[in-house]
Amino acid sequence: MADLSIKGIGGAGLELITSTSAALDVNIKSGTATTASTPTKGTLTDRSGSIASGTVAQTLAAANATRKYFLFVNQSAGNMWLNFTTTATMDQPSILIVPTGSLAMEAGFVSTEAISVIGATTGQKWMAKES
């Protein structure tokens, strides 16, 4: 992971915060008050798999009202498409994920809808995790 540097104005003027760790605790300093933001922690459920039948959409994950995180990585040599609530198609309105491409949902917005996936070739693999 690359180094992360954040510049901001604190009580003593311009400050530099640098982190090389995978998890980053951010301290926002204003005058004498300090607030710490810590990443959400939880257990991941594996939703990895492969296309059972080329050009036929399949369910990647059922609807989950408590989903807080979702990660999908296309580990195949061909395009894959995702859709939420409705069946994925190999065109819009589905979301195209190119080979080695990914989609992550966290913090700001995470869909709780069912997730459908489709690819052109039987056996196309993906890695997916949800929490």
Exposed (0-12), middle (13-18) or buried (19+): which is 43, by Cβ within 10 Å?
exposed
Which tens digit of pLDDT belongs to each residue from 74-88? 999 999 999 999 999
Q: Are residues 80 and 117 in the same domain?
A: yes
Residue 23 belongs to what domain range?
4-37
For 84, the token pair is 């939420």
Task: Compute CA 90 distance to the chain's CA centroid, rounded to the nearest angstrom.
Answer: 21
- pLDDT at position 124: 98
Mean pLDDT of 94-121: 96
Q: Are residues 94 and 115 in the same domain?
A: yes
* Domain at 116, CATH number: 2.60.120.770
Of 7 and 83, which is predicted with more confidence?
83
Q: State yes or no: pLDDT of 90 exceeds 90.
A: yes
Q: Are residues 31 and 63 in the same domain?
A: no
- pLDDT at position 34: 58
14 CB contacts (<8 Å, ≥6 apart)?
A: 7, 8
* Count of the separate structural domains present in the chain: 2
Mean pLDDT of 111-117: 98
Q: Are residues 102 and 58 in the same domain?
A: yes
Q: Are residues 66 and 89 in the same domain?
A: yes
Mean pLDDT across the chain: 84
Q: Are residues 86 and 26 in the same domain?
A: no
The model's pTM: 0.72
Q: State yes or no: pLDDT of 26 exceeds 70.
A: no
Q: Are residues 56 and 108 in the same domain?
A: yes
